[in-house]
């Protein structure tokens, strides 16, 4: 019978004084696991630990020894990805190793360092014991070597848990024989009391896997269902830990569990409140009908829905295969400190960022389409983007992300997701209609004129803008200028459905055709306003009393000349309404403009990734491209002919002498 190959000892990567040499596997676990030692350099105590099956395991307290051992960086497999690879297999067998830890010998010079004291003398291990810092990494390395021809194909192995999988029942016997032959060739044995052969579903790691999908571990669910209401802070913490282990299956876990965390945060004694009891009862009800999750196919396009509330941000990743939306992963993040004060649109961006970090492997291997009616792409590339949004935009540029509008909802789980989100915030009723609100108001000063604009998203996020008019105009013209500036502002945010509110009755009635427009200048303003209105899918203009428009009134006064940062108009809008599009030769700006305008990107994933990283540095304002800089001011990007004009101006006009130096 063939002996095992040479494996790295459990102490691989240790400090020089405790470094282990390669070790060979023992033919079988026997009485030679320990040996007596006379003068050890290290000495530890014995600890007896009761196992779940009622038996006892002798463990050694190696904490002091582990402090001297650098960590072995050999990676353990990702549990979620390994479980996903079991989806769609008809027949499975679950195997459990029998003392495989003891199949790895200790290096001879390191045996004495595992010395432990007993009533009968001092002994040390000849084989790798439990409790060593690098035992898990060394064990996984051995597993990967033994099953290197089967891993991912018909077998999954995580430390001592092994699953043999087959697409059909006819081929399972061959897969099982291949696995047993491999074990026999390395003289590795199984624990038959824990092995199960030829079944359709079973427990693997912390999940219940089958050909239909991935379910939560029923044992973990039953623990919560049978758990009495917590009475102390420690019991609440224990409940929170149990919930976190089921987080992948819980819709909006952050919102469901926020009363528990608020109880811990606000009450030092962990006082259980009526809200906590109601949330606990609702959680138990939900867990009795926990959803079945699926795994995505290679190369599939995945859909991501985002949601926000006052206490948490949530997301659900879906597979649209077979025209049915099936959940893959639920994500939830409780907002802490400053995060709870973010504007709603920034919370949406935070939800996307948190999801991308937690599901990095899905984002790296699949195209993710964000299904939302909110202008997330515009927000991440707005000229006044905050520092954190700029960093988020660059980080998200690593992934192949597309933004698509919300259509019909196919999955019941997703319908619940949107419905529950709508009930948590009243403003989200409008979110589903994608209806924005715009408040406008103008103000007159002794030397200049101002305008105030307040744009509110369907989810309650507010955007402000103040405008200064540096030309002579009547009150009527100022109100038209304000309305036009507000509509342009809304269009720049990709708004398609909007309701506008103004306290200036004349403009409202003229736009709504209730009053006739006789003034020639106002006719030009009205014509331009109607042109902008035609670009919206849904538009309404309503007159409101002055006292209901106080915010924009203050902004309008802020837009007067004593302001430091406002948008400035040097001439009336109707004088520059005609836009002439010029044909430019191919330029490096074309691909950036196409992405910022329409989201167009190359089919090649690497090129698309590079394009998104580049676009994070640019912003589109009034169809012109600007580049962000560390010095804060935006720098305008010029076409070739424009750049030549600038160079000529520098050399021939006022700067001629200075340029020549």
pLDDT at 320 over 80: no
Residue 285: phi, psi to the nearest 5?
A: -65, -40
Residue span(s) of the chain under CATH 3.30.420.10 come to 436-569
Pairwise CA distance, residues 109 & 17, whole Å:
10
Give the per-residue SS3 of 138-175. HHHHHHHHHCCCCECCCEEEECCEEEEEECCCCCHHHH
Q: What is the mean pLDDT of residues 653-658?
A: 54
Tokens 């036009």 belong to 484
User: pLDDT, tens digit, for every residue of 24-38?
Assistant: 333 344 435 778 888
Residues whose CB falls within 8 Å of the CB of residue 496, separated by 6 or more in sequence, listed in order: 434, 536, 537, 538
Contact 351, 308 (CB under 8 A): yes
Pick from 105, 81, 137, 130: nearest CA to 24: 105
Q: By three-state DSSP, how is residue 531 classified? A: helix
Contact 317, 303 (CB under 8 A): yes
Pairwise CA distance, residues 507 & 248, whole Å:
54
DSSP output for 40-53: -S--B-EEEEE-TT
Residues whose CB falls within 8 Å of the CB of residue 388, separated by 6 or more in sequence, listed in order: 346
Look at residue 479 in the predicted model and tell me its pLDDT.
84
Least confident window among 116-130, 264-278, 363-377: 264-278
CB atoms near residue 351 (< 10 Å): 25
Look at residue 315 in the predicted model and tell me its pLDDT.
92
* More confident of the two residues 9 and 434: 434
Query: Distances in Å between the alpha carbon of 382 and those of 73, 363, 374, 588, 616?
Result: 42, 24, 14, 21, 10
Contact 441, 555 (CB under 8 A): yes
Q: Is the pTM of this model over 0.75?
A: no
CA 635 to chain centre: 32
Pick from 175, 207, 197, 205: nearest CA to 295: 207
CB atoms near residue 471 (< 10 Å): 13
Pairwise CA distance, residues 422 & 432, whole Å:
8
Q: What is the mean pLDDT of residues 99-128?
A: 87
Tokens 């595992």 belong to 114
Q: What is the DSSP letter of 78?
A: P
CB atoms near residue 506 (< 10 Å): 17
Residue span(s) of the chain under CATH 3.10.20.370 come to 301-421
Beta bridge partners of 303: 318, 369
Determine the CATH number of domain 301-421: 3.10.20.370
Confidence of residue 562 (pLDDT cuts 50, 70, 90): very low
What CATH homologous superfamily does 436-569 map to?
A: Ribonuclease H-like superfamily/Ribonuclease H (3.30.420.10)
Look at residue 97 in the predicted model and tell me its pLDDT.
86
* More confident of the two residues 164 and 571: 164
As a dihedral over the C-alpha atoms of residue 318, residue 323, residue 324, residue 328, rounded to 10 degrees, the angle is -20
Look at residue 445 in the predicted model and tell me its pLDDT.
57
Pick from 347, 550, 528: nearest CA to 454: 550
User: pLDDT, tens digit, for every residue of 65-86?
Assistant: 999 888 998 988 999 889 999 9
């Amino acid at each position: 019978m063939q002996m095992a190959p040479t494996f790295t000892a459990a102490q691989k990567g240790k400090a020089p004084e405790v470094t282990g040499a390669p070790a060979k596997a023992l033919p079988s676990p026997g009485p030679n696991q320990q040996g007596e030692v006379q003068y050890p350099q290290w000495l530890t105590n014995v600890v007896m630990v009761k196992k779940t099956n009622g038996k006892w395991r002798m463990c050694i307290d190696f904490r002091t020894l582990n402090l001297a051992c650098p960590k072995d960086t050999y990676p353990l497999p990702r549990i979620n990805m390994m479980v996903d690879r079991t989806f769609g297999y008809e027949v499975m067998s679950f195997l459990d190793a029998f003392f495989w830890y003891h199949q790895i010998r200790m290096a001879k010079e390191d045996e004495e360092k595992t010395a432990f004291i007993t009533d009968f003398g001092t002994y040390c291990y000849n084989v790798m014991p439990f409790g060593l810092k690098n035992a898990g990494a060394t064990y996984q390395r051995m597993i990967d070597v033994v099953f290197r021809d089967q891993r991912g194909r018909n077998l999954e192995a995580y430390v001592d848990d092994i699953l043999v999988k087959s697409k059909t029942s006819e081929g399972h016997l061959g897969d099982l024989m291949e696995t047993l032959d491999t074990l026999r060739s390395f003289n590795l044995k199984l624990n038959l009391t824990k092995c199960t052969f030829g079944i359709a579903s079973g427990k693997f790691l912390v999940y219940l896997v089958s050909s239909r999908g991935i379910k939560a571990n029923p044992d973990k669910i039953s623990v919560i269902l049978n758990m009495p209401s917590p009475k102390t802070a420690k019991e609440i913490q224990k409940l929170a830990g149990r919930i976190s282990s089921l987080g992948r299956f819980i819709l909006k876990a952050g919102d469901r569990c926020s009363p528990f965390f608020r109880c811990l945060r606000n009450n030092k004694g962990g006082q259980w409140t009526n809200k906590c009891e109601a949330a606990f009862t609702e959680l138990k009800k939900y867990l009795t009908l926990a959803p079945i999750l699926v795994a995505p196919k290679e190369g599939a396009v995945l859909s991501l829905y985002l949601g926000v509330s006052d206490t948490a941000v949530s997301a659900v990743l879906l597979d649209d295969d077979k025209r049915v939306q099936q959940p893959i992963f639920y994500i939830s993040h409780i907002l802490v400190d400053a995060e709870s004060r973010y504007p709603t649109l920034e919370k949406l961006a935070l939800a996307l960022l948190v999801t991308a970090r937690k599901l990095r492997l899905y984002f790296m291997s699949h195209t993710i389409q964000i299904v939302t009616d909110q202008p997330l792409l515009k927000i991440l590339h707005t000229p006044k983007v905050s520092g954190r949004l700029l960093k988020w935009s660059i980080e998200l540029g690593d992934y192949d992300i597309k933004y698509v509008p919300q259509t019909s909802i196919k999955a019941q789980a997703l319908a619940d997701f949107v419905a529950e989100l709508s009930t948590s915030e009243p403003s989200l009723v409008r979110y589903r209609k994608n209806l924005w609100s715009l408040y406008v108001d103008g103000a007159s000063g002794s030397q200049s004129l101002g305008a105030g604009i307040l744009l509110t998203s369907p989810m309650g996020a507010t955007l402000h803008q103040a405008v200064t008019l540096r030309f002579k105009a009547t009150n009527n013209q100022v109100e038209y200028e304000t309305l036009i500036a507000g509509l342009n502002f809304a269009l720049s945010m990709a708004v398609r459905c909007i309701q506008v509110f103004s306290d200036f009755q004349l403009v409202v009635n003229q736009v709504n055709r209730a009053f006739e427009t006789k003034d020639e200048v106002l006719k030009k303003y009205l014509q331009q306003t109607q042109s902008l209105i035609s670009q919206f899918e849904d538009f309404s203009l309503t007159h409101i009393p002055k006292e209901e428009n106080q915010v924009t009134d203050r902004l309008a006064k802020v837009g007067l000349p004593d302001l430091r940062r406002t948008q400035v108009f040097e001439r009336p809008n109707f004088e520059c309404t005609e836009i002439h599009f010029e044909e430019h030769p191919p330029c490096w700006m074309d691909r950036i403009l196409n992405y910022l305008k329409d989201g167009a990107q190359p089919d090649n994933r690497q090129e698309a990734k590079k394009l998104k990283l580049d676009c994070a540095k640019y912003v589109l304002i009034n169809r012109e491209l600007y580049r962000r800089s560390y010095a804060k001011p935006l720098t305008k990007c010029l076409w070739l002919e424009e750049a030549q004009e600038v160079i000529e101006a520098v050399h021939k006009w006022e700067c001629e002498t200075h340029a020549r130096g």
